[in-house]
Amino acid sequence: MERILAFGCHPDDIEFMCAGTLALLVKKGFEIHLATMTGGEVGHPFLAAHEIRNIRLKENENSAKIIGGFFHYAGGSDLEVEYNDFYRRASVRIIRKVDPLIVFTTFPFDYLIDHKETSRLVRNACYIASVPNYDKEPGLKPTNRFPYLYYWNASGLKDIFGNELPLTCIVDISSTINIKEEMLACHKSQMEWLKYHNKWENYLEIMKRQSRKEGEKIGVEFAEGFIQHKGNGHPQDNILKQILGELCQEIK
């Protein structure tokens, strides 16, 4: 069975931005893996870092289970993600462990530096996981392929300058929006944090409102947008279109 990896920065990033597409891919017979770079250690108004980390990682595990998936934690710390040796090796080890056909990750110029650095790290890991002499961790073999790589849309659907992204495809998730909502609802501690910090009153409705806005671009109720990475070595064809057919609309 081929595997798909969604690699975000914080617990709930994946659910907010691409869980509907992951649920569609489960229906097509793929094994799904979720990974986060950090444990969301600062995301609570009064709990200590180790307490909220344990809670948030468990919430991520519960979310993955909804679609029969698996969860991986890279071992990083919230608001401390850097492009350095520790994070490079952690990212590569997850890529090697999963050996995914497709990788989804955060947009390279998202609003938060943690997201930006995670995007760089995952992109780099997708490329160097196949290098035999890099990080010879016992029990992990170098991959023998470059995965398809997609960036999900930016948080709030705009880059740091307020511009919409040049999406290359948009996936109709109208049939899986309830699964996406169920997965996101696992992150109860994040709902509390964003209500406190961002003044978000209805976390789930904000997600659905964003998904509706993406759906408007292709005339469906709910959708998720992506940009395919087409750098040197990576496959150039749009495998999401091949797998999902009419549910994936390419943007010219």
- 113-149 pLDDT, tens digit per residue, is 999 999 999 999 999 999 999 998 889 999 999 999 9
Looking at residue 172, its pLDDT comes to: 98
The yes or no reply on domain 3-250 and CATH 3.40.50.10320 is yes
Report which of 226, 98, 91 is spatially closest to residue 172, judged by C-alpha positions: 226
Domain ranges in the chain are 3-250
What φ, ψ does residue 126 adopt, rounded to 5°?
A: -60, -30
Looking at residue 191, its pLDDT comes to: 75
| Whole-prediction pTM | 0.96
Average per-residue pLDDT for the chain: 95
CB 6 within 8 A of CB 56: no
Residue 235: which residues within 8 A CB-CB, separation 6 or more? 146, 148
Report which of 24, 28, 8 is spatially closest to residue 16, judged by C-alpha positions: 8
Please provide the DSSP assignment of 12-61 as one string.
THHHHHHHHHHHHHHHTT-EEEEEEEE--TT-SSSS-HHHHHHHHHHHHH
Sequence-ordered strand ranges (E) for the chain = 3-8, 31-38, 70-76, 102-105, 148-152, 169-172, 223-228, 248-250
Angular region, 251: left φ>0, alpha ψ -120 to 50, beta rest:
beta
Q: Cα(122)–Cα(120) distance, rounded to whole angstroms?
A: 6
Looking at residue 22, its pLDDT comes to: 98
- In the predicted structure, residue 209 carries a pLDDT above the cut 80: yes
Q: Taking residues 185-213, report their average pLDDT.
A: 86
CB 222 within 8 A of CB 208: yes
Residue 83: which residues within 8 A CB-CB, separation 6 or more? 117, 120, 121, 124
Cα of first residue to Cα of last residue in the chain, in angstroms, is 32
